[in-house]
Amino acid sequence: MRTVHVELGERSYPIYIGSGLLPQAAAYLIKHGLSVKSPHLIVTDDKIAPLHLETLKSSLEGAGFRFVISIVKSGESSKSLSVYEEVMTTAIQGGLDRNSSVIALGGGVVGDLAGFVAATYMRGISFIQMPTTILAHDSSVGGKVAVNHPLAKNMIGAFHQPELVLYDLDTLKTLPAREVSAGLAEMVKHGLIKDKEFAYWCKEHASELLLLDLDALGYGLERGVAIKAEVVSQDEREGGLRAILNLGHTIGHAIEAVGGYGEFLHGEAISIGMAGSALLAEALGRGEGIYTETTAMLTSLKLPVVLPDHLNEDDLMAAMMHDKKFKEGTLVFVVPDSIGSVSIVKDIPQTLVRDILKQLRKGGKVNV
Amino acid sequence: MRTVHVELGERSYPIYIGSGLLPQAAAYLIKHGLSVKSPHLIVTDDKIAPLHLETLKSSLEGAGFRFVISIVKSGESSKSLSVYEEVMTTAIQGGLDRNSSVIALGGGVVGDLAGFVAATYMRGISFIQMPTTILAHDSSVGGKVAVNHPLAKNMIGAFHQPELVLYDLDTLKTLPAREVSAGLAEMVKHGLIKDKEFAYWCKEHASELLLLDLDALGYGLERGVAIKAEVVSQDEREGGLRAILNLGHTIGHAIEAVGGYGEFLHGEAISIGMAGSALLAEALGRGEGIYTETTAMLTSLKLPVVLPDHLNEDDLMAAMMHDKKFKEGTLVFVVPDSIGSVSIVKDIPQTLVRDILKQLRKGGKVNV
Ligand SMILES: NC(=O)c1ccc[n+]([C@@H]2O[C@H](COP(=O)([O-])OP(=O)(O)OC[C@H]3O[C@@H](n4cnc5c(N)ncnc54)[C@H](O)[C@@H]3O)[C@@H](O)[C@H]2O)c1
Ligand SMILES: NC(=O)c1ccc[n+]([C@@H]2O[C@H](COP(=O)([O-])OP(=O)(O)OC[C@H]3O[C@@H](n4cnc5c(N)ncnc54)[C@H](O)[C@@H]3O)[C@@H](O)[C@H]2O)c1
Ligand SMILES: [Zn+2]
Ligand SMILES: [Zn+2]
């Protein structure tokens, strides 16, 4: 088993990564002082429930824990205020009190939703994550929890750190191949922003990662969460440094919004976004050759790097203007300097961004 | 002008209390570093808007501030997730960013709602309170913000401290008499829990307070917020001590829930609740004579102390069992020891509480 400690003073917590952890969930919860007197809430989705919920339930029941369960519909549409209210209702009807915990068994959607419930139920109770996707290695570090507003993603949320994260690699075996690739997009992103060696390691071990080889996966997730944890420890509330984690996300979020959440997976969208950032870097005269290097890594992980035709530029620009990355009307982007290093660049003209979108649609640097 | 500092480390903030402050609002906001570049959101209700919104608007406009406005329906029903979502929509459409603020112009309802919006818009932006009720002297200290769930009051919320509180006594002149009394219930509560002299002062100055005499009101609000601030400074997240602020609230919340939010004002409900706590004190052999003393204070402020007949005991008990004050099934009450001092008493049998409700209905100590 691998353990990564996320250092956040009083709010520090461990991430346990390994095989066979979910059947021992109760032992970890007891170790972390979870009350057997108060009822708890498990939040999961209707794809994960038939696959992994029973394992968690039997572990908890065996140890005498009481709990209620919210099973939401699989997919981004569950990150809404109306589903949030339903989960709150289950929590209240289940009699959760201030010593209760909310346990998220699932991917980033379940984690973000359950985390926002935990952050705001009785003004905040304890939160535990049991990620079942690769992408959730990202969402399990940093304490960002949120639901979407019809007008903008992740607009309604809080910072709420988990008590612990229990990452059972075995649950990943049931993940569809497309979700595996999408999750690896955030993994390689962590290399691209801060660790050149790790970025290249991801490319070299692409086939093992795609096949969910336990050793490769364990190491990749450990490095991924460790890099994110390092950034978050230095900037818990996203005052500055933490913004580098948004590499690929400005364009990525716009793609998700315009495509309608659901057409593109988050990881796919940010993969195209990272390709876009690389193009932007070259257009700004930084990081020569970085577009080719970046897209080679992304395609090795079976990720898309071309902006599809049906996504209108005007719509994408409009979506970006609503995005949080735009402070007071100026355009801010995370731009790579080289593999393993990025900068925050302000005052990027909208015309340049439009130009990048056009190039991104053609699959690379072309005269447009 | 009187200023009370709420000491909370990094989250400390001042409360300015005085006459003529709202017309100078912009100057206070500039002093506290509010951005004129980012748009802000004013939240108020449809009773307050025609009376006081113009004053605030002209001050802000005069200083070049940009803002959007959410006017919600007056009353507790606006502390709901659906109104919360509407206010969020206004904020997003208004283009609020991370440097924006949410300004609550109103009573506790507007403050709690707007505060929860501020706490969760983009995971938290700055919050400013401009209270227009006496009761809001209570809600402007402590950072508790919340909306109600159909099953329980204040169940969905956060801790989010304001940047500053601007308390213009002139706005109170338009407050209906019943609201004045209700607000004074929380004021005298602050005396009852921690300051004997102040509790008696409230009774002695009852008629000036009811007539909104500026001197009496200014002093009363200053002491009220100062006492609450002292408690909150010692226990920001309600770990222990802060619970004493709940004097009268366990029964009070049940009265509000069973009566249907709206029949009783919050202050009226907790006034009956404080009478109930005094009865409980005497039943437990603490604080001899405290019931008579307490109810004399409350009635001097034209507050009710008798539980109305139509509120069913079974319903009240059921409502209390849902209340946050019940940890892990045990019943916890704040019970007075004497005027100006209270204790948290655990393990109070439900049968005793039922008995108190019966006495409370008869208006005092009788064999039931
Ligand atoms: N909070 C953060 O810091 C943060 C960071 C990154 C992403 N996110 C959020 O995470 C979300 C995306 O996360 P995600 O990709 O994990 O999405 P997800 O939770 O929707 O999971 C992806 C899909 O896989 C299914 N699934 C999950 N685990 C499975 C398993 N073990 N076997 C079979 N199917 C399984 C789900 O039902 C879903 O259909 C987005 O909403 C994004 O905004 C949050
Ligand atoms: N956050 C906290 O710590 C805290 C503490 C105590 C109470 N509260 C909450 O506060 C709420 C009650 O507060 P409230 O009594 O101020 O309620 P309120 O905001 O509903 O105001 C009472 C009534 O007076 C009207 N009004 C307000 N100001 C006015 C003015 N200047 N002139 C004329 N009319 C005016 C309002 O429209 C409303 O009808 C409850 O929801 C309670 O839960 C919160
Ligand atoms: Zn992401
Ligand atoms: Zn109160």
Q: Assess whether A144 carries a catalytic annotation.
A: yes
Q: What was the pLDDT predicted at B136? A: 96
Domain boundary assignment for chain B: 2-174, 192-362
Q: Is the pLDDT of residue B328 over 60?
A: no
Distance CA A35, CA A22 (A): 18
Q: What was the pLDDT predicted at B89? A: 98
Residues of B in contact with A150 (CB under 8 A): 89
Each residue of B140-172: b (16+ CB within 10 Å) or e?
Answer: bbbbbbbbbbeebbbbbbbbbbbbbbbbbbbbb
Residues of B in contact with A123 (CB under 8 A): 144, 146, 157-159, 238
State the average pLDDT over residues A32-36.
Answer: 95
What is the CA(B253)–ligand 2 centre distance, in A?
15
Q: Is the pLDDT of residue B368 over 50?
A: no
Q: What was the pLDDT predicted at B39? A: 97
* Token representation of residue A299: 């395609």
Distance CA B82, CA B74 (A): 15
Q: What was the pLDDT predicted at A261? A: 67
Q: Is the pLDDT of residue B291 over 50?
A: yes
Distance CA A285, CA A97 (A): 56
Q: What was the pLDDT predicted at A366? A: 57
Q: What was the pLDDT predicted at B288? A: 84
Q: Is the pLDDT of residue A329 over 60?
A: no
Min mean pLDDT across B138-147, B347-356, B357-366 is at B357-366
A313 Cβ neighbours under 8 A, 6+ residues apart = A354, A357, A358
Min mean pLDDT across A65-69, A222-226, B325-329 is at B325-329
**ipTM above 0.95?**
no
Please tell me which of A47-56, A285-294, A328-337, B344-353 the model is most confident about, judged by mean pLDDT. Answer: A47-56
* Token representation of residue B202: 């409230």
Q: Is the pLDDT of residue A294 over 90?
A: yes
Q: With an 8 Å Cβ cutoff, are A144 and B123 in contact? A: yes
Distance CA B262, CA A96 (A): 26
Instruction: Name the residue with higher pLDDT: A67 or A350.
Output: A67
Distance CA B300, CA B298 (A): 5
Q: Which residue reads 């006081």 in tokens? A: B52
pLDDT classification of A330: cutoffs 50, 70, 90: low
**Minimal-distance CA residue of chain B relative to A35:** B328
Ligand 2 closest atom vs CA B79: 41
What is the gyration radius of the CA atoms in chain A, in angstroms?
20
Q: Is the pLDDT of residue B319 over 90?
A: no
Distance CA B136, CA B141 (A): 9
**Residues paired with residue A18 on neighbouring β-strands, in sequence order:** A168
Binding-site residues of A sit at 74-79, 108-112, 132-133, 144, 153, 171-174, 186, 249, 266
Residues of B in contact with A81 (CB under 8 A): 81, 84-85
Q: For chain A, what is the HEC assignment? A: CEEEEECCHHHCEEEEEECCCHHHHHHHHHHCCCCCCCCEEEEEECCCHHHHHHHHHHHHHHCCCCEEEEEECCCHHHCCHHHHHHHHHHHHHCCCCCCCEEEEEECHHHHHHHHHHHHHECCCCEEEEEECCCCHHHHCCCCEEEEEECCEEEEEEEECCCCEEEEEHHHHHHCCHHHHHHHHHHHHHHHHHHCHHHHHHHHHCHHHHHCCCHHHHHHHHHHHHHHHHHHHHHCCCCCCHHHHHHCCHHHHHHHHHHHCCCCCCHHHHHHHHHHHHHHHHHHCCCCCCHHHHHHHHHHHCCCCCCCCCCCCHHHHHHHHHHCCCCCCCCCCEEEEEECCEEEEECCCCHHHHHHHHHHHHHCCCCCC
pLDDT digits (tens, 9 = 90+) for B39-65: 999 999 999 999 999 999 999 999 999
**Is residue A99 classed exposed, middle or buried when 0-12, 13-18 and 19+ CB atoms within 10 A define those classes?**
middle
Q: What is the mean pLDDT of chain B?
A: 94
- CATH T-level topology, domain A2-174: Rossmann fold (3.40.50)
pLDDT digits (tens, 9 = 90+) for A254-288: 999 898 767 899 999 999 999 999 999 999 998 78
pLDDT digits (tens, 9 = 90+) for A137-152: 999 999 999 999 998 8
Q: What was the pLDDT predicted at A339? A: 96
Q: What was the pLDDT predicted at B329? A: 54
Find, among A317, A276, A311, A308, the residue nearest to A295 by Cα: A276
Q: What was the pLDDT predicted at A332? A: 87
Q: Is the pLDDT of residue B223 over 80?
A: yes
Q: What was the pLDDT predicted at B323? A: 59
**Minimal-distance CA residue of chain B relative to A326:** B97
Pocket test for ligand 2, best of B46, B47, B167, B168 (most atoms within 8 A of CB): B47
% of chain A exceeding 90 in pLDDT: 85
Instruction: Name the residue with higher pLDDT: A107 or A331.
Output: A107
Q: State the architecture of B192-362 in CATH terms.
A: Up-down Bundle (1.20)
% of chain A exceeding 70 in pLDDT: 96
Query: Which residues' Cβ are closer than 6 Å to ligand 2?
Result: B 45, 47-48, 51, 74-76, 79, 106-110, 112, 132-133, 135-136, 138-139, 142, 144, 154, 171-172, 174-175, 179, 182, 266
Return the number of CB contacts < 8 Å for A and B: 91
Q: Is the pLDDT of residue B330 over 90?
A: no
Q: What was the pLDDT predicted at A236? A: 77
User: Contact at 8 Å (CB) between B148 and B95?
Assistant: no
pLDDT digits (tens, 9 = 90+) for A75-116: 989 999 999 999 999 999 999 999 999 999 999 999 999 999
State the average pLDDT over residues B24-49.
Answer: 97
pLDDT digits (tens, 9 = 90+) for B231-268: 999 887 777 788 999 999 999 989 998 987 678 999 99
Min mean pLDDT across A343-352, B141-150, B181-190, B202-211 is at A343-352
Across the interface, which of B37, B144, B152 has its CB nearest the CB of A123?
Answer: B144
Q: What was the pLDDT predicted at A235? A: 81
Compute the nearest-CA separation of B11 from chain A (Å): 14
Q: Is the pLDDT of residue B340 over 90?
A: yes
Q: What is the mean pLDDT of chain A?
A: 94
Q: Assess whether A322 carries a catalytic annotation.
A: no
In this structure, the residue with its CA closest to atom 15 of ligand 2 is: B135
